[in-house]
Each structure stands twice: as structure tokens, then as C-alpha cells.
Amino acid sequence: MLLSRWRRWRRARPFWGGLFAVLAGAWICVLPLAPLKIMLQQGVAGIPSVLMGIIMIVLGVTAWFSPRQRSLAGVLTTLIATAALVLSNLGGFLIGTLLGILGGGLMFAWQPYAAPRTGGSAAPARPSPAGDSPTPHPDPQGAQP
């Protein structure tokens, strides 16, 4: 029961895109806190790294809890991940940038499931040009109007 509710919740939103955005934000945010020997540059680059990481985490969580905002969150995540390449130690040594671009793309591309159709045929019958019969008349040569 709990597993089916989790699956239904997960499929009703851009879960994987949000997860990659949260991971990218966490990676970019935590990297400035690493020892100086691991860092490429510390100082002014530390503040944008933390801010961009927090914003990416917020955008990933936004995509989870407000799926209607997924397009904006996806575009902003991709832009911030690209900006992190320059402003934040090569975007978390490229890992944060790649995760952010992947997450932003998945958020932007996600589409909700359409409600299944019930009933007859897939397309309603079109009236004939003469208007005398509601069923369409096939063209004798097989071409559609």
C-alpha cells in the first residue's frame, strides 16, 4: 500500500529531474567547504557556490512539490548549472554542472500522464461535406481530405 502510494506520487511529478537538481546543488554547495588542498580557488568563489547550490536544491524541490512550475525550474536549473561552471570551481569539478544540466533537462521535458480515453473510437466521425450523413465517406483513391 505504501509502496504503491510512493510510486503514484513519484510518477505524478518530475521526480528524477528534481533528484538530479538536488544532488547537483548539494555537490556544488558542499564543495567550497572541502579542504583547501582540494579546492581550486577559495574566497569570492565560495559565496556564489553556496548560493547557486541552495538555489538549485530549492528548484529541485519546487519541481517535486509544484509540478506546474517544472518548465521554469528546469530552465533556471540548467542556466545556474552552466553558470556554476565559471563561478564555482568548474561547477563542482564538472560533476555538479553535468548533474544540474541533466536534472534541468529532465524537469523541462517531463510531461504528466494524460487521462486514458474511454468509449468508442479514437477520433470522432466527421460529417460529410454535403452534411447529409454523420459518417465520413472514404475517398475512392484512398486519400484523406
Q: Whole-number mean pLDDT of the chain?
A: 81
Q: Mention every residue, 6+ apart, whose C-beta is less than 8 A from residue 82.
A: 91, 97, 100, 101
Identify the residue with better confidence: 62 or 93: 62
pLDDT, mean of residues 110-118: 78
Check residue 134 and give its pLDDT. Answer: 55
Portion of the chain with pLDDT greater than 70, in percent: 72
Check residue 39 and give its pLDDT. Answer: 58
- CA 102, 108, 109, 110 dihedral sign is positive
How far apart CA 69 and CA 61 sit, in angstroms, is 11
Identify the residue with better confidence: 74 or 114: 74
Q: Which residue has the cell 521535458?
A: 109
Cell numbers found for residue 84:
556554476
Tell me the residue type at 131.
Answer: G
Check residue 91 and give its pLDDT. Answer: 77
Query: At residue 56, does pLDDT exceed 70?
Result: yes
124 and 117 Cβ atoms separated by less than 8 Å? no
Stated pTM of the model: 0.72
Query: At residue 106, does pLDDT exceed 70?
Result: yes
Of 75, 136, 58, which is closest to residue 110 (Cα–Cα)?
Answer: 75
Of 32, 20, 27, which is closest to residue 101 (Cα–Cα)?
Answer: 20
The string of DSSP codes covering 69-108 is GHHHHHHHHHHHHHHHHHHTHHHHHTHHHHHHHHHHHHHH
Check residue 24 and give its pLDDT. Answer: 95
